[in-house]
Chain A
Amino acid sequence: MAGRGRFLTVFTHYFTNYYRSRSFYVMLILILLISSLMTYLSFRYSNNLPSFLGGTQFQNLPVSEKENVFAFLWAFILLDVPVFASVFFGSPAVSSEIENKTSYHIFSLPIGRFTLLGGKYLAAFAVTLVVTSIYIAFEAAVLGIEFHAFPFPRFYISYGLLILFILSLTSLTFLISSIFSKNLYAYITVFIIYFLVFNVVEILLQLLYSYNAFFLLSNASSIVQRVFINVSTSNFSSAGSITPAGIHEVLTSSFVMLLYTVIGFVAALFVFERREVH
């Protein structure tokens, strides 16, 4: 079988496995619930935007600005949902093969480990993207109905950045998964690193040195939301402005996520390549 054919086979196999798994259905139900709730809240409270923004000058927002505010609020969910999805699909990627002893069979197949991990990585990425795209589809429909002006460019930019965020997060989870032999450790480590370590470092640097930790994935990923309004919902020093993030900020965050993607994936490849079956 040619290399490309093997890769496609591995990808298809794991993609099928993923969407038949319980994790997928848990994420699917979760995303449908969140999307329905956001849809209800959007229609129910669409006239309360000025009070949400907190200033009388926002009483007569033009349609384009209202659209930005709506997209900003919807994007808030996109900072966390991909983390859960990536953890569900990415964290057990390697550790489960070791823990369940399936690695005995897989490692003896005439398929290179680079092909195995690459195919599995793309499958995990694809299934995470499918889950988050359902939410995006709800968002697009709500914006279209509410403003009759969909699509608008920043929406696509945000979606592109979301794809990059999922790629980088999947790389990180694969790297951690390739280190551990038990699923539980991989799950917990990813959650601790992303929600605890990253946040603590960010808060400490901000409070002690007024330094914006732009190099942390949790910080860079906020660009998915800040591309609409440059206010970070996890940052103390954000000013009350409805200006979108500038092009340099978008590119800075993009390069940070690209580096996490490449370094995380390559490191995972080499760790996986050296794994022994015990």
Chain B
Amino acid sequence: MNPLLTKIIVIVAAVAIVVPATYLLASQYTSSQSEANPFSYVPLHSEVVAEAHLNSTAIYLFVSNGSAGAVLPFTINEIELFANATYANSSSPLQITPYTSYMSQTVYSVSNFSISSLGSSGFTLNNSILAIVSQSLPGNNSTLFAANAGTAGMVIGNLGAVKDSISSAGSGNTFSSVATSYLDGTSNYSFYVKPKNLSSVNYITGNISDGHSNVYVSLSGNTSLGSFHFVKNGTYNVTVSSKPGSLMVTVTGNYTLSELVGYVTQYLGKVGA
């Protein structure tokens, strides 16, 4: 065969493979990143989203349409393995059974599951994180629902939250697109709240890191809310920087997530925001 023709055939064949392969590589890489991103399973229009990091473990909590859920870094299969080992001789064994199918994905019902028992099971879940999840999800002995969340782990919570999570992941309408704007991934705890009953507040974000906390309130109008003080067990430092349209509160002291959100919303209520 003519050497020039051979070269042309080789180049054409190479281009015919390389171009579509590069395109498919890019799309598959994007999908794999999305599949592994826990925020891809948090609905975009959630009222509350919280991210907690401790000892290399991260969990993600959300409230969507009044229904609470959590994205945990374990698969349902692993939770079942754990159950086999821990609940084998229990009088009320853990039960994970297929409940329904939603958008081609199996939703499981999870009975007799105490999330706090995960802490003693060998999973690397810090007790503080367990406390947050326990407080956020329905009571220990009520039925929870769960579904696998790609390679990110699983989503567990109320049925509504699990379904919202699946549908948002399917449609791509997820919190992953805005997570870095609202949450600080370097903090121990970081939260985003979109209050429904405070008309002049767009959203509240904040983070708690080793005794240093920040709360930022985005106001919908040019309202100036002035300054305020927290009182909790003695002295602490509060810095308030207020300007029309926003309010920044920096607190030096140990506050829990619920205390911080409670104080701010209480204050906003007092000033009639």
A residues lining the B interface (CB < 8 Å): 3, 54-62, 65, 112, 114, 214, 230, 239-243, 245-246, 248-249, 251-252, 255-256, 258-259, 262-263, 266, 269-270, 273
User: Which of these, A114, A251, A262, contacts B17 with CB under 8 Å?
Assistant: A262
Q: With contacts A242-B78, A248-B31 known, is A56 near B121, CB below 8 A? A: yes
Q: Is the CB of B81 within 8 A of A60?
A: yes
Q: Nearest residue in A to B20 (C-beta to C-beta)?
A: A255
Q: Count of chain B residues with Cβ under 8 Å from any Cβ of A?
A: 38
Mask, B141-160, CB within 8 Å of A = 1, is 00000000011010000000
Q: How far is the CB of B98 from chain A (nearest CB, A)?
A: 17
Q: Beyond the given A239-B56, A252-B28, A255-B21, could you list 4 further A-B residue pairs with CB under 8 A, ordered by the A residue number?
A: A55-B122, A249-B35, A251-B32, A252-B25
Residues in A with CB closer than 8 Å to B25 are 252, 255-256, 259
Bound CA span A55–B35, Å: 25
B74 CB within 8 Å of chain A: yes
Q: With contacts A56-B85, A249-B32 known, is A269 near B10, CB below 8 A? A: yes
Q: Is the CB of B6 within 8 A of A243?
A: no
Q: Is the CB of A58 within 8 A of B81?
A: yes
Residues in A with CB closer than 8 Å to B11 are 266
Q: How far is the CB of B43 from chain A (nearest CB, A)?
A: 21
Mask, B24-54, CB within 8 Å of A = 1, is 1100110110011000000000000000000
Q: Nearest residue in B to A210 (C-beta to C-beta)?
A: B185
Q: How far is the CB of A92 from chain B (nearest CB, A)?
A: 24
Bound CA span A266–B11, Å: 8
The binding surface of chain B is classed by DSSP as helix
Q: With contacts A258-B17, A259-B21 known, is A246 near B84, CB below 8 A? A: no
Mask, B95-123, CB within 8 Å of A = 1, is 00000000000000000000000000111
Q: List 15 A-B contacts (CB under 8 A).
A: A55-B122, A56-B122, A57-B121, A57-B123, A60-B81, A239-B56, A240-B123, A241-B74, A243-B78, A246-B35, A248-B35, A249-B32, A252-B29, A252-B32, A255-B22
Mask, B1-25, CB within 8 Å of A = 1, is 1010011001100100110011011
Q: Nearest residue in A to B11 (C-beta to C-beta)?
A: A266
Q: Is the CB of A114 within 8 A of B29?
A: no
B residues lining the A interface (CB < 8 Å): 1, 3, 6-7, 10-11, 14, 17-18, 21-22, 24-25, 28-29, 31-32, 35-36, 56, 73-75, 77-78, 81-82, 84-86, 88, 121-124, 150-151, 153
Residues in A with CB closer than 8 Å to B1 are 3, 112
Q: Nearest residue in A to B153 (C-beta to C-beta)?
A: A241
Residues in B with CB closer than 8 Å to A239 are 56, 73
Q: Nearest residue in A to B73 (C-beta to C-beta)?
A: A239
Q: Is the CB of A246 within 8 A of B74?
A: no
Residues in B with CB closer than 8 Å to A242 are 78
Q: Is the CB of A263 within 8 A of B18?
A: yes
Bound CA span A243–B22, Å: 27
Q: Is the CB of A114 within 8 A of B121?
A: no
Q: Is the CB of B28 within 8 A of A255?
A: yes
Residues in B with CB closer than 8 Å to A55 are 121-123
Bound CA span A243–B29, Å: 19
Q: How far is the CB of B36 from chain A (nearest CB, A)?
A: 8
Q: Is the CB of B28 within 8 A of A258?
A: no
User: Which of these, B28, B85, B151, contacts A230 with CB under 8 Å?
Assistant: B151
Q: Nearest residue in A to B88 (C-beta to C-beta)?
A: A60
Q: Is the CB of A249 within 8 A of B88?
A: no
Q: With contacts A112-B3, A256-B25 known, is A65 near B17, CB below 8 A? A: no
Q: Is the CB of B151 within 8 A of A245?
A: yes
Residues in B with CB closer than 8 Å to A245 are 151
Q: With contacts A60-B88, A112-B1 known, is A255 near B75, CB below 8 A? A: no
Q: Is the CB of A241 within 8 A of B14?
A: no
Q: How far is the CB of A155 from chain B (nearest CB, A)?
A: 18
Q: With contacts A243-B77, A255-B24 known, is A57 near B82, CB below 8 A? A: yes
Q: Is the CB of A248 within 8 A of B32?
A: yes
Bound CA span A112–B73, Å: 56
Residues in B with CB closer than 8 Å to A249 are 32, 35-36, 151
Q: Is the CB of B81 within 8 A of A258?
A: no
Q: Is the CB of B85 within 8 A of A246?
A: no
Q: How far is the CB of A12 from chain B (nearest CB, A)?
A: 21
Bound CA span A56–B56, Å: 19
Q: Nearest residue in A to B82 (C-beta to C-beta)?
A: A57
